[in-house]
């Protein structure tokens, strides 16, 4: 969208018949599901990109802000929290679990607001070498970022009740990490929800991908759908084009890779051409968790179930250890269920609705045999859903699709089925992540969750801006319209009631 708007001749080559990748739609029997993302957060990034194109995101993709944002249930007997973006309401909810903690909600929000504002320039700039770390003046930010702490450790400065810490830290899921290992910087994720909202685009998050494809076409990009790149073509170590499974060759001055980073390197770029990101190095990196997914078309609707419900295992810590280190399935898994029909009636035929169930599980580093494991895990989740009030599911399901970590790897080309990409530990962030102007190859640029700044929708849209700016500058084209990193955000702030 951005490159085409700059007058560049852009051809998008996409192996699937639908746009959006992880953020695409499943459309079956009149039901429409998001394949992946269901929380649209921090719309400012995309609002800004649309504004640069002279358009209004909210006109192109209508969306609603949720209140309550979601319900978090703590095991089957630990109570719950109904999380509201209204800080007084939220403080009152938190105070029910621990009165002292309730008083600290406002302080948590205020301090994280400052943290985001100070860190934002680094999220908006390319990190092309370790020198950028120094020019960014990391040292000054250390007391604020406290990199030696985890998200959970940082939250204990505000909240004593582990349930409240959980409600402000499960968002590490967006990065596919445990709040006990995830760097403390990422408390900004839950903060973002409160200041900027949890949004539901009408039609689902996939409507954003579809809207962007529409806009990209209008500004001149061409889409080759259902055509897979089988090889990146090189002269020496400079990319000169791609070959596809239709036997076509497309020559190009630059190749922008959005496909999963590790998978693409392994499959499409010869190992001998890579210095920093060889197959061996890729195998030794840390990757996010994976997810077991169920997409269910339902007769009727569960009106007593909120739009988003997060159920955390009775043994939350044990469940995280099973995902991150033990690489096995838990007896009482955590899961998340989305019941979007309570907000959006465009997703199912009349009298029907959809449920989306996600359970975080280990990635395929240890190659679990999902063909044999999936049926039992599906039955376990059907049982578990009773804990959130869904007790007659079997007889109401009219459509059912399951996606396992094995499917993420083999049907969606995601390395090890690690749905949230390379993990976001400090050793794999900033200049240590694969760079937007890819350091191993000439004329190759990266965009998406595998490069800087990282995984998650707002962040991958920011990566698009960083990468476009670099590419335009490298080719002597005007990049000024893409704005200056860290410049004051000129988009109107979104209030809790908007």
Ligand X SMILES: Cc1cc2nc3c(=O)[nH]c(=O)nc-3n(C[C@H](O)[C@H](O)[C@H](O)COP(=O)(O)OP(=O)(O)OC[C@H]3O[C@@H](n4cnc5c(N)ncnc54)[C@H](O)[C@@H]3O)c2cc1C
Contact 67, 197 (CB under 8 A): no
335 in contact with ligand X (CB under 6 A): no
Residue number, 81 or 189, with CB nearest to ligand X = 189
Site for ligand X in 222-261 (CB under 6 A): 228-229, 258-260
Q: CA 95 → CA 72, 100, 104, 164, distances in Å? A: 15, 7, 9, 10
Cβ atoms within 10 Å of 50's Cβ, excluding its own: 22
- The window from 11-19, 89-97, 155-163, 305-313 that contacts ligand X (CB under 6 A) reads 11-19
23 binds ligand X (CB under 6 A): yes
Does the protein bind ligand X through residue 359 (CB under 6 A)?
no
The verdict on 402 binding ligand X (CB under 6 A) reads: no
Residue 443 or 451: the one with the smaller Cβ distance to ligand X is 451
d(CA 232, CA 242) in angstroms, rounded, equals: 4
Nearest approach, Cβ of residue 344 and ligand X (Å): 15
From the list 16-24, 114-122, 150-158, 231-239, the region that binds ligand X by CB under 6 A is 16-24
Query: Which residue lies nearer to ligand X by CB, 15 or 327?
Result: 15
The residue (of 257 and 368) whose beta carbon lies closer to ligand X is: 257
The minimum distance between CB 11 and ligand X, in angstroms, equals 11
Q: Which is nearer to ligand X, 84 or 290 (CB)?
A: 290
For ligand X, which stretch binds (CB under 6 A), given 12-20, 156-164, 338-346, 476-484? 12-20
Positions 58 through 117 that interact with ligand X (CB under 6 A): none
Contact flag: residue 175 with ligand X (CB under 6 A): no
The residue within the footprint of ligand X, chosen from 413, 439, 474, 489 (CB under 6 A), is 413
Total chain residues near ligand X (CB under 6 A): 29
Q: In 10 A of CB 289, how many CB atoms?
A: 23
Contacting residues toward ligand X, per CB under 6 A:
13-16, 21-23, 36-39, 41, 174, 228-229, 258-260, 291, 358, 413, 419-420, 448-449, 455-457, 460
């Amino acid at each position: 969208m951005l490159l085409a708007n700059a007058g560049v001749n852009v051809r998008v080559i996409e192996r699937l018949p639908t746009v959006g990748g992880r953020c695409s739609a499943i459309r079956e029997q009149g039901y429409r599901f998001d394949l992946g993302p269901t929380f649209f957060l921090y719309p400012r990034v995309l609002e800004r990109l649309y504004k640069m194109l002279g358009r209004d995101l909210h006109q192109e993709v209508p969306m609603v802000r949720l209140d309550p944002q979601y319900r978090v249930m703590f095991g089957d007997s630990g109570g719950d929290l109904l999380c509201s973006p209204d800080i007084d309401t939220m403080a009152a909810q938190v105070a029910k679990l621990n009165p002292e903690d309730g008083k600290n909600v406002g302080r948590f929000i205020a301090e994280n607001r400052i943290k985001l504002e100070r860190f934002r320039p680094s999220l908006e700039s390319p990190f092309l070498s370790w020198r950028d770390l120094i020019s960014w003046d990391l040292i000054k930010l250390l007391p604020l970022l406290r990199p030696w702490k985890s998200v959970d450790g940082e939250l204990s400065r505000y909240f004593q009740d582990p349930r409240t810490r959980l409600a402000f830290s499960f968002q590490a899921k967006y990065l596919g990490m445990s709040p006990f290992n995830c760097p403390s910087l990422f408390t900004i994720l839950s903060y973002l929800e409160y200041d900027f909202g949890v949004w539901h685009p009408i039609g689902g998050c996939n409507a954003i991908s579809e809207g962007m494809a529409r806009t990209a076409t209008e500004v001149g990009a061409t889409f080759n759908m259902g055509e897979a790149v089988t090889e990146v073509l090189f002269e020496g170590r400079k990319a000169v084009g791609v070959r596809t499974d239709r036997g076509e060759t497309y020559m190009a001055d630059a190749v922008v890779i959005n496909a999963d980073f590790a998978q693409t390197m392994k499959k499409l770029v010869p190992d001998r051409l890579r210095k920093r990101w060889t197959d061996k190095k890729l195998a030794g990196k840390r990757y996010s968790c994976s997810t077991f997914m169920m997409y269910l078309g339902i007769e009727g609707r569960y009106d007593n179930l909120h739009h988003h419900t997060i159920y955390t295992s009775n043994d939350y810590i044990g469940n995280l250890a099973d995902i991150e280190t033990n690489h096995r399935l838990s007896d009482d898994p955590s899961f998340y269920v989305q019941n979007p029909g309570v907000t959006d009636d465009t997703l199912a035929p009349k009298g029907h609705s959809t449920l989306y169930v996600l359970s975080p599980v280990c990635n395929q580093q240890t190659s679990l045999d999902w063909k044999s494991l999936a049926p039992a895990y599906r039955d376990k989740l059907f049982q578990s859903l009773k804990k959130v009030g869904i007790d007659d599911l079997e007889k109401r399901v009219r459509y059912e699709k399951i996606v396992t970590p094995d499917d993420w790897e083999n049907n969606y080309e995601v390395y090890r089925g690690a749905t949230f990409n390379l993990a976001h530990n400090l050793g794999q962030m900033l200049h240590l992540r694969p760079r937007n102007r890819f350091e191993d190859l000439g004329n190759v640029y990266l965009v998406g969750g595998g490069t800087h700044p990282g995984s998650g929708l707002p962040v991958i849209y920011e990566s698009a801006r960083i990468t476009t700016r670099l590419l335009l500058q490298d080719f002597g084209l005007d990049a000024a319209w893409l704005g200056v990193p860290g410049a004051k955000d000129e988009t109107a702030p979104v209030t809790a009631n908007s």
